């Protein structure tokens, strides 16, 4: 990282403009510190990637720092599996945090802050049940009512809160609530809950704490004690910002000597900051759901093959699909940062993927729907190797030698007995160029008992081979192939979009997202691949010429059994005409 006083890059989106303005007046001493605060209750998805790119990107661009902090305040829904997966995803996306924290690191600090609010008459212990709290809260058009326990004395509230901390009361028996304004037009300020009793073992703290802080309370205090300057949140937290500010105003953390030692034990060096919460519109894509609850249901109900299913919008799924992290970063950079909610076409992301892979993916030949082609004027034992460039636009990729023989596999749809209009590939009596070989003419076909073509027989015009006088003779079509004798059988998984409608969350027709699952979103075929393609390492993306980009599966690919996932087709099949 560069020094915080390094000249800032030109302001772009409105958050950058805020940071530039803050630095210009010396706010926070010119420091910029952000954080990415995921809850470890599921895998990260594309929407999280926008926040990751923004938080880490802002910090890097302004010579600042970014923390990774797990919001682990709800242990009933959290798991170490998700903690590990989130760290792996952030690193895969290309970022490294300045320091790693958990909200649970600050449970002692949060508790001491809660006692301060009680002593200052700003919080009280409430005996209302959850249903009663909702009833007392009021509506958007009607004010709420004060809890009958709101005027308990400071002494009684401290006693009850400490007994809550000691585990004396049952789950749900009592809560600690802020004392703000039950008539506020912002429902978040109607005496919100700060702590609830929940006797659940925590992944980090075990059974030490029978009470857990609520997110709105833990979030602002965690930001402050970490020295965060700009707390970037998605737009749904805009109505929560007054509570964020209220908590920090009432606590005035720099004036609390009792938290100095707990901060040191939590590994926090500097004094608390006064962070500013700034909201931006979350990232939404069509043909996608990005609710953790719905993604978890897809996994639990067996509608997908797990969190890392290549059809899922999770970063683990996209990684297994072969989406390069550079494409995801470029996509969110192009999408921009605004306060206006919008839906971006998934095809825009796929376009970014194609751009990155076109420049970086080596080329190989593979046949997904094989039809045998026999070159009858070559000997039965004929074998040779042909040199191919690994990338047509970049000689630095080098070359490879591809085996060629008398019998080949070609794509079945590269041959038609009765061709559709505009078809320029192989037909009876017609000619086509075999990629890197020469021109062949179809002379005959063989059929099975049902009349289906099983073999195309051709002759090779030797004069059209490389280095021969007729090598430049023109024909309209060129097709790819693999040598039947040398090709390697591979499992290829052809993925399409998981949903059949652009807005799976739309329930206006009485259907749910689960009713719009695309049952044909995964198709598995046995393909034939040239040996150099089958030898790819796991997670290596190749372009199978004329077919698309494919990745050697991160989990299942092996030398003895190659498995490839289609990352994206060469062209957008969903493009609007």
List, as residue ranges, the binding site for ATP: 39-41, 45-51, 234, 290-292
SS3 236: helix
3-state SS, residue 90: helix
- Alpha carbon separation from 191 to 116, 146, 157, 358, 396 (Å, rounded): 16, 8, 15, 56, 65
- Cα-based distances in Å from 185 to 134, 141, 277, 351, 386: 16, 8, 20, 45, 75
Residue 292 known to be catalytic: yes
Binding-site residue positions for L-glutamine: 71, 215
Contact 183, 177 (CB under 8 A): no
> What is the SS3 string spanning 111-178?
HHHHHHHHHCCCEEEECCCHHHHHHHHCCCCCCCCCCCCCCCCHHHHHHHHHHHHCCCCCCCCCEEEE
Residues in binding site: 39-41, 45-51, 71, 215, 234, 290-292
How far, in Å, CA of 135 to CA of 380, rounded?
Answer: 85
387 has which bridge partners?
Answer: 401
Instruction: Please state, as a whole number, how many other Cβ atoms lie within 10 Å of the Cβ of residue 342.
Output: 11
The one catalytic residue in 27, 39, 238, 491 is 39
Catalytic residue (one of 35, 122, 179, 292): 292
- Given 274, 282, 294, 441, the catalytic residue: 282
Please tell me the distance from the alpha carbon of residue 190 to that of residue 279, in angstroms, as a whole number: 22
Q: Is 431 a catalytic residue?
A: no
Distance CA 74, CA 69 (A): 14
Whether 282 sits among the annotated catalytic residues: the reply is yes
Residues 348, 304: Cα–Cα separation, whole Å: 24
Task: State the Cα–Cα distance between residues 397 and 363, nearest whole angstrom.
Answer: 10
Residues 6+ apart with CB under 8 A from 154: 118, 119, 121
Name the residue among 394, 559, 562 with its Cα closest to residue 551: 562
Q: Which two tokens stand for residue 483?
A: 């040598």
CA distance 298 to 290: 11
Name the helix (H) or strand (E) containing 98. none
Active site residues: 39, 282, 292
């Amino acid at each position: 990282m560069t020094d915080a006083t390094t000249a800032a890059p030109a302001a772009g989106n409105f958050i950058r403009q805020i940071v530039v303005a803050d630095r210009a007046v010396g706010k926070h001493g010119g420091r910029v510190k952000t954080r990415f605060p995921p809850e470890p209750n599921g895998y990260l998805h594309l929407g999280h990637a926008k926040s990751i790119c923004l938080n880490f990107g802002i910090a890097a661009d302004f010579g600042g720092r970014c923390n990774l902090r797990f919001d682990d305040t709800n242990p009933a829904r959290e798991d170490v599996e998700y903690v590990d997966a989130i760290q792996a995803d952030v690193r895969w996306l290309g970022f490294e945090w300045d320091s790693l924290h958990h909200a649970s690191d600050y449970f002692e600090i949060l508790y001491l802050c809660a006692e301060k609010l009680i002593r200052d008459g700003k919080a009280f212990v409430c005996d209302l049940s959850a249903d009663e709290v909702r009833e007392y809260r009021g509506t958007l058009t009607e004010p709420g009512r004060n809890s009958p326990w709101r005027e308990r004395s400071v002494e009684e509230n401290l006693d009850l809160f400490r007994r809550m901390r000691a585990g004396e009361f049952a789950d749900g028996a009592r809560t600690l609530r802020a004392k703000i304004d039950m008539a506020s037009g912002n429902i978040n300020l109607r005496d919100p809950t700060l702590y609830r009793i929940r006797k659940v073992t925590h992944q980090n703290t075990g059974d030490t704490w029978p009470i857990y802080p609520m997110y709105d309370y833990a979030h602002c205090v965690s930001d402050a004690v970490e020295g965060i300057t700009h707390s970037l949140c998605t737009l749904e937290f805009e109505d929560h910002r007054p509570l964020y500010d209220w908590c920090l105003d009432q606590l005035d953390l720099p004036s609390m000597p009792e938290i100095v030692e707990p901060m040191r034990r939590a590994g926090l060096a500097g004094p608390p900051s006064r962070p500013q919460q700034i909201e931006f519109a979350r990232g939404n894509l069509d043909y996608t759901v990005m609710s953790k609850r719905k993604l978890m249901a897809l996994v639990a109900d067996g509608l997908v093959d797990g969190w890392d299913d290549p059809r899922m919008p999770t970063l683990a799924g996209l990684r297994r699909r072969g989406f390069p992290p550079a494409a995801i970063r470029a996509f969110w950079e192009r999408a921009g940062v605004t306060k206006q909610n919008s839906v971006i076409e998934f095809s825009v992301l796929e376009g970014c993927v194609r751009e990155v892979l076109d420049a970086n993916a080596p080329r190989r030949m593979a046949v997904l729907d094989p039809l045998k082609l026999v070159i009858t004027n070559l000997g039965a034992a004929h074998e040779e190797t042909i040199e191919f460039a690994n990338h047509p636009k970049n000689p630095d990729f080098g070359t490879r030698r591809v085996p060629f023989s008398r019998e080949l596999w070609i794509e079945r749809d590269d041959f038609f007995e009765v061709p559709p209009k505009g078809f320029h590939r192989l037909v009876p009596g017609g000619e086509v160029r075999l990629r890197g070989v020469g021109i062949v003419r179809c002379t005959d076909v063989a059929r099975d008992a049902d009349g289906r073509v099983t073999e195309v027989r051709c002759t090779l015009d030797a004069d059209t081979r490389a280095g021969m006088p007729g090598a430049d003779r023109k024909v309209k079509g060129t097709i790819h192939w693999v040598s039947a004798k040398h090709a390697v059988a591979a499992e290829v998984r052809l993925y399409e979009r998981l949903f059949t409608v652009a807005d799976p969350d739309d329930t206006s027709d009485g259907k749910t997202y689960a009713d719009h699952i695309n049952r044909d979103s995964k198709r598995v075929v046995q393909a034939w691949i040239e040996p150099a393609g089958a030898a790819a390492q796991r997670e290596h993306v190749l372009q199978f010429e004329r077919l698309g980009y494919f990745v050697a599966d991160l989990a299942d690919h092996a030398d003895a059994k190659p498995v490839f996932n289609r990352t994206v087709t060469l062209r957008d099949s969903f493009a609007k005409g």
